[in-house]
Structure 1
Amino acid sequence: MKLKILLLIGLLPTLAFGQSYKKHTVQKDRLIIQLDEGTMNLIPLSDKAIRVQWDKGMKEEREFVLINKVQAPVFRVSEAGSKLKLATSVITVSFDKRTGVIDYSDNTGKVFLSEKAGSRKLTSNIVEGQSCFVAEQSFDSPSNEYLFGLGQFQDGHYNLRNVTRKLTQVNSQIAIPFLYSSRGYGLLWHQYGLTEFNPADNLVALTKKDTASGAGTVEVTTTSGTQRVSRQQALYTGKITISKDGDYSMMLDMGNMESRHLLVIDGKPYIDQTNQWLPPAASAVVNLKAGEHTVQILCKSANVPKLSWKLVGNETTFRSINARALDYIVFYGKNADDVITAYRNLSGNVPMLPLWAYGFWQCRERYTSGKHLVQTVEEFRRRNLPMDVIVQDWQYWGKHGWGVPQF
């Protein structure tokens, strides 16, 4: 009986992972690993870049990112115990045939990145009537790691470790699913659909407090002190019950562009932003004690906010809900410049702009007329202030409609 229990415990990593190794073949440009569930491709794109693709028969045929055609680098494949390894002169990627876990090491054998055991997932999904998968992968992230990138956001976060983000393209926000780590690697999550970074899945039930009745105002706490909210805004309240002390990532999603993000927990503001063009979502990492906590959210009365949370840990997760396969690329080099160079060599170099484009750009929300714009230029000249470009922005089109190339 004791022997059976030990055997069962030994099999748990493989059973839980559900992607048992069957066989592998080596081709001139890749290592192909057949699993019980689908096919794994380990593809060296350069000495400093390894691509991982796992599919269940559905593949993404379009390529919008890796537009430069490059020759496969010299690589070697070896086996040692349960480990199947592919190595270039810079990176060694190791696949554990027992657990399915992939890790990455430099040419000295130092591991700089590992997948989290059991976290690789392709779950069947349907989006707008089309069959697809939810692709998800988590990576180990030690407490001393710093993560940078993901594009241009207004949420104020610099180190993105444990931060929850919704990678969407909206006015004033640019999402790029690329990370650079203080451990020396870069990671491109190669998906074209909606992607969540460190998704928070625990939804908070919210109740809307109607501010349009009675006096039409309600008191809320902000970073500027107690304020009264006008009837054009609504206050949502709810409660969170957590079982342990720790850091929690809170994701606030308004659903639409906003001019205010305000999340208050137990009377303390954790998200408080005011801007004419705020993206729909914002997040914060907060430290909470075990027990019940009261939350308040302020937003436009027409919006329906969602608040979700997760207990943070030593992992980084990407999830895409409209994927055909799991697909990511790991880069490694001596420094950040090395990593970005490897990325650009695959994705295409950015051409240099004309010299005048590197000067001062004068831009505002818009100029109300041609006269307004010319007067602004004349005022710069009168004050001897240098200006290379003035941005006309929007509403110049008059009767021609939005955005037409007519003046």
Structure 2
Amino acid sequence: MTFRKIFFVAAAAICCAASATAGQASRTEGGLAFQAQGLNVRVEFYSPDIVRVYKEPVSRPCKKVSIPIIMKPGRVELSFGGGGGVATVASERVAVSVDTETGGIVFADKQGNIMLRDKDYGTQFTPRDDAGRPSFEVRQAFLLDSAEVIYGLGQQQTGLVSQRNQRLLLRNQNMSICIPFVHSAKGYGLYWDNYSPTTFTDNPQEMSFDSEVGDCADYYFIYGGTADGVIAGVRALTGQAPMYPLWTLGFWQSRERYKSPDELCEVVDKYRELKVPLDGIIQDWQYWGCDSNWNSMRFENPRYINKMGDPYYMRFLPKGEKADATGAEPRIKTAKEMIDHVHKRNAHIMISVWASFGPWTDMYHRMDSIGALYDFETWPRHAGVKPYDPFNPVARDLYWAEMKRNMFDLGMDAWWLDSTEPDHFDIKDSDFDVKTYLGSFRSVHNAFPLVTNRGVYEHQRQATSDKRVFLLTRSSFLGQQHYASHSWSGDVTSTWDNMRRQVAAGLNYSLCGIPYWGTDLGGFFASRYNNDINNVAYHELHVRWYEWGVFQPIMRSHNSSPVAVEIYQFGKKGYWAYDAIEKYTRLRYRLLPYLYSTAWEVTSGSGSIIRPLVMDFAGDSRVLELGSEYMFGRSFLVRPVTDSLYTWQDARRNGHQKDMADVASVDVYLPAGADWLDFWTGSKHSGGQTVMREVPIDIMPVYVRAGSIVPFGPDVQYATEKRWDDLEVRVYPGADGRFTLYEDENDNYNYEDGAYTTIEFEWDEAGRTLTIGERKGKFKGMLKSRKFNIVLVGGSTPAGDVPAKGRTVRYDGRAQTVSL
């Protein structure tokens, strides 16, 4: 009997009594249980869309508690059937068939379309010693359709969007975020719930996960029907994403590193002087001083406490640094003054905090006293620094208590949790035998960043509801969105090839259901350009990467010393690099109402900001493996320019500029199923074709889907400088469309109690009317009346980043319709 026929048998047997048996399988409240291959197997529906499969050796039953899964099984209406060694169970959405002899499991939709096969005899348990504890290497194989396209696996640096025909070691490290989750273009997701280093293999014979250690084989099948549905399932399983403060969506400036409070504050002052928008500044490492004092979580570098010359504190000065030759009195003398100065300039500050401690720190000794340090080589090398054990709840309490006392209580706004893989050098197998609170480091390795971020998030939430948590972190795991965690792609080198690879990496990461991701704009290591900020070839790369940054969820410029990448390092107004950077910074701020509303869709509706084209155009086969462009929210098609078009690139020489009047072009594919308007010109194009778009240095190809309604904010110096009482609302005609404008108090958790408003805009293409719906909800200080400047894009109407004149509508919260 074929698998397809099996499901028709299941449908025919749908009226069987719930207590009936099917072959050797027994019915449970949530599904089926049976034995095969010497394994106890349970199939359990968590919801009509989500099925857990759990397998354990009959001789070694165990009780598994998942780290990322927070969903509990719900009561699901199920139908049972089968016969002849095959048992079936079905919800209203998913049908599951099990072969009680081979252990094979087949997942299908209710129409009988097979989604995924758990391979016959595809589960293997190989005994192994795990740090003195009997355990297993665990392998699980699946069968995919030959033409099926799959995504996910976190953030990999392969440059590929499709994860077919790959062999990857999933072990978190700098630049590689490893999540054993695949997302199929067929509309389902598969999460292998194991945190040990795992080899993912896909070849024509099978797809498999081979984990170094585990007591069970445990996975979740998530049926979404669409990519959005799959992501909604991931969020249901692992937690929804909270809102970030509005200011976090502005521009962030960072450098490795600002070496004194004066240096950091001068950057903020310079941006304000130049009237270039800025919301965030970041204090990277070594504010604590030397490597032996690594991550003390205290300002003990003498430059941060006005102790230059004090013999006690001078011992903390980082290696190779000397006291200022002039001995000049600092303007900003302490860390508290630094934080206060940033706030007075209407900006916010983030600080780098690591998952490890140097031997001079109090935290090192406190963690050591409770057995919460890992004994292996981490960054910085040869300094005696050791990672801490975030799986230990007491260690997490100590970690936060020190952060709160020494930084949060001073007014620190956000946290950069660096090296959350953690960094690990000279790797030996015995390093993974290190004991953690939950077992060997081997058994929990990939969950380290999840638990580290969760610890800080939960503690800050307990401390206050008046300040939203914002975490920047270098590593991640499934479910990290639930803890206000934003990942970036690691310390990538500044090359065009690396920039290109980041696009595909971000698309796959987003398809794991984690919405906030970004990159070091311009790349981190500029050694390709001799670390020379005056290298014109580097200018071109940085500008193009920066332009792309406008269309990343978080926009943050960062680079390794000695290169500094503040806008004024790229010349002055009138120089092409400076002008392009300023132009795109202002565009980012104009897009804040659109982006904040999209963030609300992420929080309230399991939405995504980075949307690989398969999410909106799954019916167009040409987009399935396209890794050069994506949707930013539901309106903008973004195609970063990832090739040098105007300068020579030579690592040993300064770049040489070509004639920039000779405008180059790049190809852009416009997906079928929609018409598209060029963001910069308003010209209209049909979908299903490739167009060549001219790209002068200040133009990155951006197209807007016909039917889009996009609110544009005012020109501001920081996100909350002006209220949104006079928004420009652009309608991009060609199809019906709608958009929901979201507003709240910007930086607290009152929205969780309903303190927010929404206004729905709806465009009727046939009637050429825009309906502005009734305002719903309320919050303290909300706008009761305002103006909307309605602009219909196209024809002679201006487009691009320049404000346009349209029809002014006064709005007091009541619905109205505008004819255009």
| TM-score of the pair, normalised by structure 2 | 0.32
How many Å apart are 1:165 and its aligned residue? Answer: 1.4
| Residue in structure 2 matched with residue 48 of structure 1 by the alignment | 49
Contact 1:22/1:36 (8 A) holds in 2: no
Deviations 1:52-103 (A, max 9, x none): 1110124243221221334231112211333211111111111123432111
| Residue in structure 2 matched with residue 23 of structure 1 by the alignment | 24
Matches within 5 A, 1:1-400: 23-35=24-36, 37-56=38-57, 57-198=60-201, 312-398=203-289
Contact 2:37/2:121 (8 A) holds in 1: no
| Residue in structure 1 matched with residue 468 of structure 2 by the alignment | none
Contact 2:37/2:103 (8 A) holds in 1: no
Contact 1:22/1:34 (8 A) holds in 2: no
| Residue in structure 2 matched with residue 214 of structure 1 by the alignment | none
For residues 60 and 162 of structure 1, do their structure 2 counterparts lie closer, same or farther at Cα, with a shift above 3 Å needed? farther
| Residue in structure 2 matched with residue 246 of structure 1 by the alignment | none
Structure-2 separation of matches of 1:161 and 1:72? 35
Deviations 1:223-267 (A, max 9, x none): xxxxxxxxxxxxxxxxxxxxxxxxxxxxxxxxxxxxxxxxxxxxx
Structure-2 separation of matches of 1:365 and 1:75? 56
Deviations 1:322-374 (A, max 9, x none): 10100001111221111111121121112111111222222333223322222
Q: Which has the higher strand share?
A: 1
| Residue in structure 1 matched with residue 294 of structure 2 by the alignment | 402
Structure-1 separation of matches of 2:145 and 2:29? 35
Contact 1:151/1:174 (8 A) holds in 2: yes
For residues 70 and 139 of structure 1, do their structure 2 counterparts lie closer, same or farther at Cα, with a shift above 3 Å needed? closer
Structure-2 separation of matches of 1:58 and 1:382? 67
Deviations 1:198-217 (A, max 9, x none): 18xxxxxxxxxxxxxxxxxx
Code of the aligned partner of 2:93 = V
Larger radius of gyration: 2
Structure-2 separation of matches of 1:89 and 1:140? 24
Deviations 1:248-303 (A, max 9, x none): xxxxxxxxxxxxxxxxxxxxxxxxxxxxxxxxxxxxxxxxxxxxxxxxxxxxxxxx
Contact 1:142/1:315 (8 A) holds in 2: no
For structure 2, list consecutive stretches of 5 or more residues without a partner in the other structure: 1-21, 300-820
Structure-1 separation of matches of 2:26 and 2:73? 22
For residues 119 and 34 of structure 1, do their structure 2 counterparts lie closer, same or farther at Cα, with a shift above 3 Å needed? closer
| TM-score of the pair, normalised by structure 1 | 0.64
Q: Which moved more, 1:185-194 or 1:154-163?
A: 154-163
Query: What's the C-alpha RMSD, in Å, of the aligned pairs?
Result: 2.0
Contact 1:142/1:314 (8 A) holds in 2: no
How many Å apart are 1:22 and its aligned residue? Answer: 8.1
How many Å apart are 1:375 and its aligned residue? Answer: 2.2
Contact 1:22/1:33 (8 A) holds in 2: no
Q: Which moved more, 1:81-90 or 1:372-381?
A: 372-381
How many Å apart are 1:401 and its aligned residue? Answer: 1.6
Contact 2:39/2:56 (8 A) holds in 1: yes
| Residue in structure 2 matched with residue 257 of structure 1 by the alignment | none
The percentage of aligned residue pairs carrying the same residue is 33
For residues 402 and 22 of structure 1, do their structure 2 counterparts lie closer, same or farther at Cα, with a shift above 3 Å needed? farther
How many Å apart are 1:114 and its aligned residue? Answer: 0.9
Consecutive aligned runs of 4 or more in structure 1 exceeding 3 Å deviation:
none
Q: Count the aligned residue pairs.
A: 275
Structure-1 separation of matches of 2:129 and 2:61? 13
Local SS of the residue matching 2:272: helix
Code of the aligned partner of 1:351 = P
For structure 1, list consecutive stretches of 5 or more residues without a partner in the other structure: 1-20, 200-311
